[in-house]
């Protein structure tokens, strides 16, 4: 028998996690699904007739999806490192890799998939209600291609680059869910109490350090000279050439973002697996 992976053992672990999913996390999903409905109701009752734009709804759904990936590890696998309550997890007849794989699937794939399906279904239902603040479906006006803003220049560029725009940015969102889940999976495996809040605290600290470095760099004379040269170059460009230049930089930015998220996810998932494998009770 393979000590690392056996499909029958994995099926039992996966089934056990599946049976725990909705009892332990279903309430949180309902709350996350309800938030857009509450905003929709308040907007409907408001005397202001301004619609809720698809771009806002798209970005907001992805933000709430990140929250679901952030919360699920500590809800489903809270006791994996507990000296007493973690015995059940340790005694599960499966290898460390099988437990880790099931955990990764539920935290980084199944949870965001379930949330997205429910969130988009709710958005469609709210869009077809008469006099709805959702005056357009969420995929209208190229929102799936561009969720940044309503800048017409960007939208025209995105329309020309729809192949990269849709599939690359969709994959970018999925890797974002993977990175969020992997970070909080490791935090859940390391900390015994206040798992989510401690992980958030560490992330805030790193964000503060990174922001300080970025601001310091942006205030340097060399950086200002570099930015000034770019502005002067753009001023001399025809609009069509500037659009192509902008599109190439957006592609480059997304590519770097993908590589960064995949590398971070790989590192955190590796250390999560190592922590599960070496955990002592």
What token pair was written down for 85?
């309550």
Q: How many CA atoms lie within 13 A of 57 on its CB side?
A: 31
The three-class DSSP label of residue 135 is coil
Question: What is residue 160's predicted lDDT score, i.e. its pLDDT?
Answer: 47
Question: What is residue 161's predicted lDDT score, i.e. its pLDDT?
Answer: 47
Question: What is residue 181's predicted lDDT score, i.e. its pLDDT?
Answer: 95
Question: What is residue 199's predicted lDDT score, i.e. its pLDDT?
Answer: 95
Quick check: 73 and 20 in contact, CB under 8 A? no
Is 26's pLDDT higher than 80? yes
**Number of other residues whose CB lies within 10 A of the CB of residue 155:** 18
- Kindly report the length of the chain: 281
**Weakest-pLDDT range from 17-26, 68-77, 138-147:** 138-147
More confident residue, 172 or 180: 180
Distance, in Å, from the CA atom of 62 to the CA atom of 68, rounded to the nearest integer, reads 10
Question: What is residue 168's predicted lDDT score, i.e. its pLDDT?
Answer: 64
- pLDDT tens digits, residue range 42-53? 888 875 667 788
Question: What is residue 178's predicted lDDT score, i.e. its pLDDT?
Answer: 92
Report the pLDDT averaged over residues 238-253.
72
Quick check: 68 and 156 in contact, CB under 8 A? no
Is 149's pLDDT higher than 90? no
Highest mean pLDDT pick, 111-120, 129-138, 252-261: 111-120
Is 142's pLDDT higher than 50? no
More confident residue, 237 or 44: 44
Q: Where are the beta strands (DSSP E) in 24-137?
A: none
Highest mean pLDDT pick, 49-53, 72-76, 146-150: 72-76
Report the pLDDT averaged over residues 178-201.
93
Is 143's pLDDT higher than 60? no
Place 155 in a pLDDT band, splitting at 50, 70 and 90: very low
More confident residue, 59 or 121: 121
Quick check: 137 and 54 in contact, CB under 8 A? yes
**Number of other residues whose CB lies within 10 A of the CB of residue 232:** 9
Report the pLDDT averaged over residues 24-49.
88
Quick check: 145 and 166 in contact, CB under 8 A? yes
Summary mean pLDDT of the chain: 82
* Residue 6 backbone phi and psi in degrees, to 5: -135, 125
**Weakest-pLDDT range from 21-30, 72-81, 85-94:** 85-94
Cα–Cα nearest to 246, from 156, 166, 149 = 156
What token pair was written down for 204?
């805030």
**Number of other residues whose CB lies within 10 A of the CB of residue 54:** 22
Alpha-carbon Rg for the chain, nearest whole angstrom, is 22
Distance, in Å, from the CA atom of 257 to the CA atom of 192, rounded to the nearest integer, reads 31
Is 158's pLDDT higher than 50? no
**Weakest-pLDDT range from 176-185, 215-224, 226-235, 270-279:** 226-235
Report the pLDDT averaged over residues 127-137.
83
- Give me the percent of the chain exceeding a pLDDT of 70: 80
Four-CA torsion 5, 8, 12, 13, nearest 10 degrees? 10
């Amino acid at each position: 028998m393979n000590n690392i992976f056996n499909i029958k053992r994995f099926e039992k672990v996966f089934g056990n996690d599946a049976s725990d999913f909705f009892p332990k996390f279903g309430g949180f999903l309902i709350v996350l699904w309800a938030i857009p409905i509450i905003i929709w109701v308040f907007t409907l009752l408001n005397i202001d007739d301004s619609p809720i734009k698809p771009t806002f709804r798209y970005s907001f759904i992805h933000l709430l999806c990140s929250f679901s990936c952030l919360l699920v590890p500590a809800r489903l696998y809270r006791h994996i490192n507990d000296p007493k309550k973690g015995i059940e997890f340790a005694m599960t007849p499966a290898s460390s890799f099988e437990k880790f794989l099931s955990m990764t699937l539920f935290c980084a794939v199944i949870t965001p998939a379930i949330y997205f399906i429910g969130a988009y279904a709710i958005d469609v239902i709210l869009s077809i209600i008469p006099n709805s603040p959702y005056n357009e479906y969420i995929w209208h006006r190229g929102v799936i291609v561009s969720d940044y803003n309503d800048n017409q220049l960007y939208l025209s560029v995105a329309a020309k680059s729809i192949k990269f725009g849709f599939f690359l940015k969709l994959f970018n969102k999925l890797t974002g869910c993977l990175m969020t889940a992997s970070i909080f999976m490791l935090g859940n495996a390391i900390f015994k109490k206040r798992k989510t809040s401690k992980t958030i605290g560490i992330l805030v600290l790193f964000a503060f350090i990174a922001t300080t470095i970025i601001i310091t760099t942006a205030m340097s004379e060399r950086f200002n000279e570099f930015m000034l040269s770019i502005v002067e170059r753009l001023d001399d460009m025809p609009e069509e050439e500037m659009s192509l230049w902008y599109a190439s930089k957006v592609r480059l930015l997304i590519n770097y973002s993908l590589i960064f998220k995949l590398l971070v996810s790989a590192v955190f998932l590796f250390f999560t697996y190592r922590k599960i494998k070496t955990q002592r009770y």
